[in-house]
Amino acid sequence: MRTYTPKVNEITREWHVIDAEGLVLGRLATVAASLLRGKHRTFFAPHVDTGDFVIIVNADKIVVTANKAGQNFAYRHSGYPGGLRSTSWATLLEKDPAKLVFDAIKGMVPKNRLGRAQMEKLFVYAGDKHPHAAQQPVTFDTSAIRRG
């Protein structure tokens, strides 16, 4: 039996809305990364972008378990000697929670041109409003990834 390889023009992409209110950051990130990569499809191929568009709303209401908000840091480097800067997750949750969610998902996709193409299909918003109503997104069922 021959192996089927999906073609780019055969892929139909859907739009999913995930309400992050009350969800744990890591569990949300794994589900979103799986949708972006297309691992939920029967014809998934690791070398082809078969994923869907993902919209995450209410990023400011995510849950960070244990004391990770105070202990973990987000790092960035300017490229110059001594240019390493760090920001605690607690500060990021206050100032820019969408960046924290975006970076968590970014760490779960491939670090190459395919991963960058998949990340272009991710949209994260701190509030409950998003400008993608024209695409008719489907609400994603988060009951399986709820905390508890």
Average confidence (pLDDT) per 10 residues, the chain, 148 residues: 90 97 96 97 94 98 94 97 98 97 98 98 97 97 78
Ordered domains of the chain (ranges, CATH): 14-63+94-142 (3.90.1180.10)
Residue where the block lists tokens 């139909």 = 12
CA-CA distance, 98 to 5, in Å (whole number)?
35
The whole-number pLDDT of residue 148 equals 46
The whole-number pLDDT of residue 1 equals 85
pTM (2 decimals)?
0.94
Other residues' Cβ atoms within 10 Å of the Cβ of residue 144: 7
The whole-number pLDDT of residue 147 equals 61
Are 108 and 35 in contact by the 8 Å Cβ rule? The answer is: no
Burial of 38 (0-12, 13-18, 19+ CB in 10 A): buried
The whole-number pLDDT of residue 146 equals 74
